[in-house]
Amino acid sequence: MPARLPDIATIKRPQPIVSVSLLAKLAKDYDIPALPMLKAAGISPNLLQDPKAKISLQQEVDFVRAMLSAIDDPDIGFHAGQCFRLNAFGSLGLAVASSEKVSDAIEFFLKYLCLANTHFDISFLKENGMAILRFKDRYNLKDLRRFYLERDFSFALISTRDMFPRTLVGKTVKKIHFDFACPSAVENYEALFGCPVIFSMPHNEFLFEEKYLSQALPQANSLARKLFEEQCESQKVEAFGPEGYVEKIRQVIQTSENTIPNLEDIANQFNTTSRTVRRKLNAEGYNYQSLLSEELSRKAIHYLETTNLTVEQITQRLGYGESASFIHAFRRWTGKAPKAYRHKS
């Protein structure tokens, strides 16, 4: 069966202070001091002045919970998202804004999503003339899930306003889907987000017309984009360490279409031997077969959840010779047949 979402307390990777810093300023706008919230989260106020400061995800969540307890505003998630402008994300935001087209900006942001302060994985897909950004839970956010969804959707809206030509602002996002029941009046949400908002849907997602993906951005600058991308790469290495063999092989498997790469294929791509690949994977606590199964499972679930591809088409894209082999493998990974899994999701 699919693994349960990890609890916040189990996440040891440090988080940037930027989220709490921006939310502390938001609390000030409500004339509510942030100091008690910082104290509740065990965060020194001095850290707010250090742009390189790190805190734990648990501390961030504790701060947010204290803030929501102190501020009585059902629209706090939306207002929080309005504080998260692109320039708050440094090189990442600047690189996105410097992209040539909307599609380039989206793909770059998703490539370096680990540098953004989101607690969701985001898929980018196209269906029936619409472009879709679909948000999927990364952690078990419990009672804070709605706040973080509304915050991130609000941020996405204001980011498009920052990036798009003035003539397109307000015209691009056509619809928003939330998977939770409407907590207040639908009209209130639609007034805040400026577009139709539909609740109790299968996914949390933005939908807009695919034609806008080719729209040129007014701040496009290829040289600046390249410089900012180098800075993003450096920040990624600093935060998460150099990319190991496991991550490199994951990328090969994920980008392989209509074939299942074997160990020899992987070794050839890295100009080495299968024995060396096996040894390096073992050093990182993996073996190739388990890694392959893990990534094929992810690809299959991605196709089932985000596309209308048939089981036969997914079988071909993954590289299985026949549907029966894929269905058998999928049952082994998830305990369900592909069609049953798609129906449930």
In this structure, of 59-68, 151-160, 320-329, the range with the lowest mean pLDDT score is 151-160
Distance CA 10, CA 268 (A): 37
- Amino acid 3: pLDDT: 44
- Amino acid 168: pLDDT: 56
- Amino acid 165: pLDDT: 58
| Residue 123 banded pLDDT, cuts 50, 70, 90 | confident
Model pLDDT for residues 196-246, shown as the tens digit of each residue: 999 999 889 999 889 889 988 888 999 999 999 999 999 888 877 777 788
Give mean pLDDT, residues 165-183: 76
- Amino acid 248: pLDDT: 83
83-92, 109-118, 181-190, 278-287, range with greatest mean pLDDT = 181-190
| Residue 28 banded pLDDT, cuts 50, 70, 90 | very high
Who contacts 200 (Cβ-Cβ below 8 Å, separation ≥6)?
178, 179, 180, 181, 182
- Amino acid 172: pLDDT: 60
- Amino acid 87: pLDDT: 76
Give mean pLDDT, residues 58-76: 96
- Amino acid 254: pLDDT: 84
Residue intervals of the chain classified under CATH 1.10.10.60 are 245-344
Read off the pTM.
0.78
Distance CA 304, CA 179 (A): 18
- Amino acid 173: pLDDT: 65
The phi-psi region of residue 336 (left if phi > 0; otherwise alpha if psi is between -120 and 50; otherwise beta) is beta
- Amino acid 285: pLDDT: 80
- Amino acid 2: pLDDT: 40
Give mean pLDDT, residues 136-154: 94
| Residue 159 banded pLDDT, cuts 50, 70, 90 | confident
**CATH code assigned to 245-344:** 1.10.10.60
Q: What is the 3-state secondary structure (H, E, C) of the chain?
A: CCCCCCEHHHCCCCEECHHHHHHHHHHHHCCCCCHHHHHHHCCCHHHHHCCCCEECHHHHHHHHHHHHHHCCCCCHHHHHHHHCCHHHHCHHHHHHHCCCEHHHHHHHHHHCHHHCCCCEEEEEEEECCEEEEEEEECCECHHHHHHHHHHHHHHHHHHHHHHCCCCCCCCCEEEEECCCCCCCCHHHHHHHHCCCEECCCCCEEEEEEHHHHHCECCCCCHHHHHHHHHHHHHHHHHHHCCCCHHHHHHHHHHHCCCCCCCHHHHHHHCCCCHHHHHHHHHHCCCCHHHHHHHHHHHHHHHHHHHCCCCHHHHHHHHCCCCHHHHHHHHHHHHCCCHHHHHHHC
Give mean pLDDT, residues 31-49: 96
Kindly state the tokens that stand for 172.
């691009």
Q: Count CA within 13 A, CB hemisphere, residue 87.
A: 2
Give mean pLDDT, residues 315-326: 93
- Phi, psi dihedrals of residue 262, rounded to the nearest 5°: -100, 180
Who contacts 278 (Cβ-Cβ below 8 Å, separation ≥6)?
263, 287, 288
| Residue 51 banded pLDDT, cuts 50, 70, 90 | confident
